[in-house]
Amino acid sequence: MIQNRISNILKDVTNILLPISCFGCNARLYRGEVFLCTSCRHQLPLTEYNFNEENAVDRIFYGRINIKKANSFLFFTEIGIVKNLIHFLKYKNQESIGQFLGDWYGQILKEQGHLTKIDFVIPVPLHRKKLRQRGYNQVALFAKQIAFHINANYTDDILIKTANTKTQTKKNRLSRWHDNRSLYEIKNKQILKNKNILLLDDVITTGATMEICANTFKDIEGITIYISSMAVVPKA
């Protein structure tokens, strides 16, 4: 008890001397607040989609890839809290944001109960050069927390990125597909036979990256693919 009180006092002193700011509004965080202040957390635009009913993420992939279901946790806009979180996660060495979001989303998925038969949770991989440069895959902790909550296996050594490409979010879907047909490969295909997998990314914009990744699995017998992400760009 005394040790906990001392620890809390030290945290409060640290926050006064070295204020920790909210990644949403830059306000100082208080005890119990992590990454976001209470106000910004309540303002986060949750999609409230699930893996049971049709949603806008499903419609992104209609006629493009053979998947069971698609979903996303948050809405991504050009200005807002979600964009700030993703930016800090990817470019400001704030890897734990992925854990924060994955823990939150994972608890929701567990409560919804629609992913009880997932065998493997797989993050969209980075090329080894990009991984060395950044130091971590921004989707990894997100995926690990979700795997924990839905009682599935996390694996990051099955889907491998084989080419180091620059970001191509401004390219149209068709040109990206032709450029990147051999962007990914699968190791140990046999382990995925007749399995259910959940493929995770940070942001779904056009769906091109997920399309390429999902098509990498298309020749595996009996595989069932689910897709989700931290955020999705809403269609106008």
Number of other CB atoms surrounding residue 14 within 10 Å: 11
Tokens describing residue 152: 């599935």
Please say if the pLDDT value at position 170 is more than 90. no
| Pairing relationship of beta strands 153-154 and 159-161 according to DSSP bridges | unpaired
The rounded distance, in Å, linking the Cα atoms of 19 and 70 is 39
Q: What is the pTM of this model?
A: 0.86
Domains observed in the chain: 1-43 (no CATH), 45-232 (3.40.50)
Check residue 189 and give its pLDDT. 93
How confident is the model over 31-40, as pLDDT tens digits? 889 999 999 9
Judged against a pLDDT cut of 60, whether residue 149 lies above it is answered with: yes
Helix or strand holding residue 207 (H, E): none
Going by pLDDT thresholds of 50, 70 and 90, the confidence category of residue 15 is very low
What 116-120 contacts at long range (C-beta under 8 Å, 24+ apart), as own/partner pairs, is 116/150, 116/151, 117/196, 118/150, 118/152, 118/196, 118/197, 118/198, 118/226, 119/152, 119/153, 119/195, 119/196, 119/197, 120/152, 120/153, 120/154, 120/155, 120/158, 120/192, 120/195, 120/196, 120/197, 120/198
Name residue, tokens 């007749």: 194
DSSP strand pairing (159-161 vs 184-186): antiparallel
Condensed to tens digits (0 to 9), the pLDDT of residues 98-146 reads: 999 999 999 999 999 999 999 999 999 999 999 999 999 999 999 999 9
> What pLDDT does residue 164 have?
78
How would residue 10 be classed by pLDDT, with cut points 50, 70 and 90?
low
Rg over alpha carbons for the chain, rounded to the nearest Å, is: 19
